[in-house]
Amino acid sequence: MNRLNEITATEVVKKIKTEQVTAEAVMRDCLDRIAEREATIKAWAYLNREQALKAAVEIDRGEKSTPLAGLPVGIKDVLDTSDMPTEMGSPIYNEWQPKVDAACVGVMRAAGAIIMGKTVTCEFAGSYPGPTANPANPEHTPGGSSSGSAAAVADRMVHVAFGTQTGGSVLRPASFCGIFGYKPTYNVINRSGLLFASENLDTIGLMARSVDDIDLVSSVLLNRPVVPPAKEIAHPRIGLVKTHLWPEASSETRFAVEDSARKLSNAGAEIIDIRMPETFEDHTRIRNLLNDFERSRVLSWHSRNHREKMSDKILQQVDNGLTIPWDEYHSALLRAEDGRAMMDTIFKPLDFILTPAASGEAPKTLRDTGDARLQGYWTILHVPTMTVPTHTGPNELPVGIQLVCPRWQDNRLISWCKWVSKILIN
């Protein structure tokens, strides 16, 4: 039998509710796994064994009628927690203790979930990495900026974790670590208590080892029913989007996408090659511009008072952001809005889009979290996206694919991810 840290969130919740297992037993297995592996993986920015166990024992003493009773959850360390420090991946916030829970944290607690600890984030959810290693091979990056959340879930230290995505910070680490990573439609999960990077892009997302787990947690956050299980037989029209970045993607990424298309076609899908508007080739530039302009405001106090505690990388973004004239920023916002409107047309003949998740396997370095362009391309469009862990590359490291649906069609995305997972994973 699997240890309780290894089963899915959906199973954990069911077993606790029907009193087959205690929340304490689940938590002990998670903590034991962490004790074994944390020295190598370094996924946690804050974790207090006694505090986590105490919370589990309290759940066991209570009613367990809440929808997530006893489920351990990891929280990216840019989201405020009322009972744990929140350090934003920056020494400026060393041991900083917020007053209240971020909205998503509070809602999870109200649903009976146990906030287990805080997971390592890149500095200010940017690109300057923390210490976390990839569980599949600790010499490789787990991706970023939700590094700790991806590594902890992939390494079976915790069942579900929150991430945030401004460029590719949920999808890329999920793809690198071999788990599901979900970036909802922009702004679907309430962002109160999140330190912003770029407010017009920042989206709170989820990482888990099954699409059902992502569905379950989303249903609680949004007060909606879970999405019905995937159909056995379906004939979706899948838009295959290679983007202008295709030639730069590794052979393992290109294989993962084409092999998935082939298998889904064999299962009944119609694969339609889609050429995206040429203007979208500008997404990387526009996204960086929005990011720098907005970060320079968010980090105005920090960069004036604590320059010595900030990485050169983020200081460059802040300093650049301060030089951008309003007109240029405003044009970028409008370009992004135009792109969003175009997506509705592009999606008309399609059920969903299949596209690369990341440029390849996780690079062999802990000093760089990889290339965000293949995720940022979609983030700026505010569409919901999910990476599904379908393949393995030449170094035995995970390679995911990315599925995309129109804005607000998160349920449709989850539904098709269930179908795709059945065909490509099980």
The per-residue DSSP string of 258-292 comes to HHHHHHHHHTTPEEEEEPPPGGGGGHHHHHHHHHH
Tell the smallest beta-carbon distance from residue 260 to a copy of itself (Å).
30
Q: Which of 187, 311, 320, 395 binds a copy of itself (CB under 8 A)?
A: 187
Tell the smallest beta-carbon distance from residue 224 to a copy of itself (Å).
4
Contact between 298 and a copy of itself (CB under 8 A)?
Answer: yes
Contact between 423 and a copy of itself (CB under 8 A)?
Answer: no
Active-site option among 76, 118, 183, 418:
76
- What backbone phi and psi angles, to 5 degrees, belong to 356? -60, 150
Taking CA atoms, 307 is separated from 85, 133, 190, 303, 312, in Å, by 22, 27, 30, 5, 9
Q: Which of 208, 176, 145 lies closest to 400, judged by CA?
A: 176
Confirm if 9 and 37 have CB atoms less than 8 A apart. Answer: no
Contact between 330 and a copy of itself (CB under 8 A)?
Answer: yes
Quickly tell me which residue has 């690198």 as its tokens.
Answer: 176
The binding track of 68-107 with respect to a copy of itself, each residue x by CB under 8 A or -, is --------------x---------xx--x--xxx-xxxxx
Enumerate the β-bridge partners of residue 180: 208
**64 given a catalytic annotation:** no
Confirm if 77 and 46 have CB atoms less than 8 A apart. Answer: yes
Q: Which of residues 198-227 bind a copy of itself (CB under 8 A)?
A: 199-200, 222-224
Computed from CA positions of residues 405, 134, 366, 360, in that sequence, does the dihedral angle turn out positive or negative?
negative
Contact between 335 and a copy of itself (CB under 8 A)?
Answer: no
**76 given a catalytic annotation:** yes
Q: What is the C-alpha to C-alpha distance for residues 167 and 376, in angstroms, rounded to an integer?
A: 4
Identify which of residues 29 and 410 has a Cβ nearer to a copy of itself in the complex.
410
Which one of the spans 3-11, 140-148, 184-192, 379-387 is the region binding a copy of itself (CB under 8 A)?
Answer: 184-192
Active-site option among 90, 145, 175, 210:
145
Strands (E), 18-133: 44-47, 72-76, 114-119
Q: Which of residues 342-401 bind a copy of itself (CB under 8 A)?
A: none
**359 given a catalytic annotation:** no
The per-residue DSSP string of 206-231 comes to EEESSHHHHHHHHHHHHT-PPPPPPP
- What backbone phi and psi angles, to 5 degrees, belong to 126? -105, -135
Confirm if 63 and 99 have CB atoms less than 8 A apart. Answer: no
Identify which of residues 90 and 175 has a Cβ nearer to a copy of itself in the complex.
90
Q: Which of residues 105-124 bind a copy of itself (CB under 8 A)?
A: 105-107, 109-110
Active-site option among 169, 218, 415, 421:
169
Identify which of residues 35 and 110 has a Cβ nearer to a copy of itself in the complex.
110
Identify which of residues 76 and 302 has a Cβ nearer to a copy of itself in the complex.
302
Q: What is the C-alpha to C-alpha distance for residues 12 and 2, in angstroms, rounded to an integer?
A: 12
Identify which of residues 247 and 325 has a Cβ nearer to a copy of itself in the complex.
325
Q: What is the C-alpha to C-alpha distance for residues 315 and 296, in angstroms, rounded to an integer?
A: 9
Identify which of residues 33 and 302 has a Cβ nearer to a copy of itself in the complex.
302
Q: Which of residues 258-277 bind a copy of itself (CB under 8 A)?
A: none
Identify which of residues 186 and 416 has a Cβ nearer to a copy of itself in the complex.
186
Q: What is the C-alpha to C-alpha distance for residues 344 and 340, in angstroms, rounded to an integer?
A: 7
Q: Which of 54, 301, 338, 349 binds a copy of itself (CB under 8 A)?
A: 301
Q: Which residues sit at the interface with a copy of itself, rule CB under 8 A? A: 82, 92-93, 96, 99-101, 103-107, 109-110, 187, 190-193, 195-196, 199-200, 222-224, 294, 297-302, 304-305, 322, 324-327, 329-330, 333-334, 408
- Annotated catalytic residues are 76, 145, 169
